[in-house]
Amino acid sequence: MHKDVKVADAIVNGEWWLSASRSRNFVITLLKQCLPSPDPIVQSSTDDTYFWKVGNDSPSNRFSTANTWIALHHARPSIFWHSHIWFKGRVPKHAFISWLVAWNRLATKDRLR
């Protein structure tokens, strides 16, 4: 897409160009469900205005990479044992084995099949 493209350019024969996509990709399916009716867009004579909305925040004309990252990659809960394994003076081999034990992934006889 070139930089001067308009929203109306994404409408072909009265339908969003994405509507014809038969992709099973989750993001494309979600986009197709979120698109509004193309009729008012085709009939509009006003210039396009861009807004960015993340989560429950109100729409804004400012884009934030940090807020987008947070919205897409939810934070995992804090792990209480992290500082006991990954501290500054650790022995890497011991820390790695302790990490495997904490996640119950150590190759012990009861885990072998």
Predicted TM-score (pTM) above 0.75:
no
Domain range list for the chain: 7-72, 82-111
Q: What is the pLDDT of residue 10?
A: 82
Q: For residue 12, what is the enclosing H or E element?
A: strand 11-12
Q: Is the pLDDT of residue 85 over 70?
A: yes
Give yes or no for residue 102 having a pLDDT over 80: yes
Question: What rounded mean pLDDT belongs to the chain?
Answer: 84
- Reported as a pLDDT band with limits 50, 70 and 90, residue 1 is low
What are the residues whose beta carbons fall under 8 Å from the beta carbon of 50, sequence distance 6 or more? 61
The answer to whether the CB of 41 falls within 8 A of the CB of 8 is: yes
